[in-house]
Homo-oligomer: A and B are copies of this chain.
């Protein structure tokens, strides 16, 4: 890990850089995949699945029987844990429901917003050795609370053409309407354009490798919405002398184990803590099975010593971390001053893992500095707000002349006429 002591403000921007993205190159590479799926549909999906996943799939749709079997193969201990997490995630997201509030903006002019579910959504769950069933929960639970009618899940099959039981169990539990065995950029294309088997959806959610991310960005150009752009995962721990070096080290390592591109940053005003965290990292690293990946991520991770809490705050808001852990004495005050972050963990007993799995908050969060402009996934992500307005005859009599003056100044005469005709009818009454 790079150690930086008391950097000048001019250096800060450089210290917030992430692993370089070659997104543009990847975008060019996957254009043909999207075009092929758009044109040849299921046939293209079959060919890519054979090529990339090494398996020939006859039927992409996971059957009821496969789901039933999958659920039987999950241990009751894991089922219990998932059920507990579901309860908390549901509670947090249910509390995000929007309530209609009618506002009389002027006499007789009543306006309101109503939040309404996006009808068809597609969730992508990456494959790999470990089954990311927690991401199924994070996407399917708010989709189902929002009231989305069609919730489609795509995830790549293993070499035997199967989906991991824990994914099937999580999907079954949370109201997914169909599960398909297809992964990669081709899955994103299928959900964007539709195939004979896989329905086109209005919005696509979920993490993935750079191919999946590029595919999501590309389909937005054709009108499919996506949750947010994505980059490698990251954490910042802001810590002072009150922090526990062992806890801090374990939080940095739990970010680093995600992948070689992940980034873990410690920002502190305690030089002693930096030394202790280094010792702890070396010690804990020996216990970890993913040590190779983790070491690579640590290469572009940083321990940064700053002169006081104000500098720590300013640096944090500049970095805009996906995850931010506040291991400082006055964490509640500090939290109030955070303007750019995805999810914030307060105090010594709130590890990031809690939010990753079971506290109730969502773990699909803006990385790569996107927290400056994007929210993490939440109930809103599965809804759109429609505006309504109702104007009474008296209301229009008062507001009408204002509209006429403005429409005329913008040289939109028909806009003016739509009001004038109504006013003249009212005046005749």
A351 and B419 contact, CB distance less than 8 A: yes
Q: How far is B384's CA from A391's CA once the two chains are assembled, in angstroms?
A: 32
- A409 contacts across to B, CB distance below 8 A: 78, 81, 130-131, 133, 166
Interface residues on A, range: 35 or more
- Decide yes or no whether A152 CB sits under 8 A from chain B: no
Known: A349-B392, A354-B391. A341 touches B105 (CB 8 A): no
Alpha-carbon gap, A113 to B342, bound state (A): 10
CB distance from A334 to the nearest CB of B (A): 11
Contact B284 A402 (CB under 8 A): no
Copies per complex of this chain: 2
Q: Does A250 contact B (CB under 8 A)?
A: yes
Interface residue A413 (Cβ < 8 Å from any Cβ of B)? yes
* Interface-located stretch among A2-10, A154-162, A178-186, A287-295: A287-295
| A132, CB-defined interface residue at 8 Å | yes
Q: A410 interface residue, CB < 8 Å from B?
A: yes
A416 at the interface (CB under 8 A from B): yes
B413 touches A288 (CB 8 A): yes
The answer to whether A390 and B350 have CB atoms under 8 Å apart is yes
Interface string of A375-393 (1 = CB under 8 A from B): 1101010001111111111
Expressed in whole angstroms, the Cα–Cα distance for A352 and B78 within the complex equals 54
Please state if A361 and B346 are interface contacts (CB–CB under 8 Å). no
Q: A119-B339, A372-B202, A395-B349 are in contact. Are A407 and B357 (CB under 8 A)?
A: yes
Interface residues of A in 371-429 (CB under 8 A from B): 371-376, 378, 380, 384-393, 395-396, 399, 401-403, 405-407, 409-419, 421-422, 425-426
Supply 24 A–B pairs (Cβ within 8 Å), ascending by A. Answer: A78-B406, A84-B399, A89-B105, A220-B220, A247-B421, A250-B414, A251-B418, A257-B412, A257-B414, A289-B411, A290-B411, A290-B414, A332-B390, A342-B386, A343-B387, A344-B389, A346-B390, A350-B396, A351-B418, A355-B387, A356-B407, A358-B402, A359-B399, A375-B384
